[in-house]
Amino acid sequence: MQTGSCIGVDDVRPLERREFEQIRRLAYDTFGLDLKEGKQELVSARLRRLVRARGFHSYDEYYRYVRADRTQTALAAMIDALVTNHTSFLREAEHFLYLKETVAPRLARRARIDVWSAACSTGEEVWSLLFLLDEVLPGRNVRVTGTDISNRALAQARLAQYPAERITGLPPEWPRRYMERCGGERQGWLQVAAPYRARAEFRRVNLMEPFAWPRPFPLVFCRNVMIYFDKATQEKVVGKLTTALEPGGLLFVGHAESLSGVRHSLEYLRPAVYRRPAEGNAE
């Protein structure tokens, strides 16, 4: 089949119910996305550009192309199109205040502090965590690992460049201390300074697939992603996140995400904050 041709919008046939079910099942099986009833129009709109770009005339042709691509490049592009990568610096500020006032002092004796930002999107959460911990615990070796399923979002996170209006909510000293102005076509943008970019690592992780870390984390942030999962998938993901925590480690989820009704072994601390039990230590 010839691909890459430029065809008109009307040359792509409307997304049929059967095709929606195929894509819905693929999205669920591969990365846990629960495309509920009523999402057919959204799927059609978000994937139409990809269907046209490959020169296909139907979503069924595109689906078969994605399934046949053993490199999974096409699958990753499909995920990028379907997943909303919305984030911001210091999003859900209550978490960062709790981290600063209550959690960070408990980490003060550590020489190295590792944090995992799961579903980090374009990196704002990673840099918010790094800046805050560096400010509160100066001199500590703070390392933040950011993961996401979207290659497109990860590329932006690694670049760490943001327009000035995106950082207006940061404490005024943070941009001066941790960022530098971009030049060229990105006048008015700021980039995280190289010494701090070196303290973050980004990698693609599908929370539905097996993954492992060299050491457990005292802190894991996985916020505003489980709202896209059904209960069964949430239980699987929370179980995996729990194994990535050290005993006594904390899991932060989004404030719109309650773990009530989800089986897990974590202790509830406060809204959207849970702890892996630690033997003989309630703190």
Token duo for residue 188: 């008015």
Q: Is 140 a catalytic residue?
A: no
Q: CB of 86 within 8 A of CB of 225? A: no
Amino acid sitting at position 124: E
Annotated catalytic residue: which of 46, 64, 143, 166?
46
Question: How would DSSP label each residue in 94-121?
Answer: HHHHHIIIIIGGGGTT-SEEEEEEET-T
Q: Is 148 a catalytic residue?
A: yes
Annotated catalytic residue: which of 24, 54, 91, 148?
148
Question: How would DSSP label each residue in 30-88?
Answer: HH-----TT-HHHHHHHHHHHHHHTT-SSHHHHHHHHHH-TT-HHHHHHHHHHS-----
Q: CB of 220 within 8 A of CB of 116? A: yes
Token duo for residue 136: 């509160």
Token duo for residue 237: 């993901």
Looking at the annotation, which residues are catalytic?
A: 46, 148
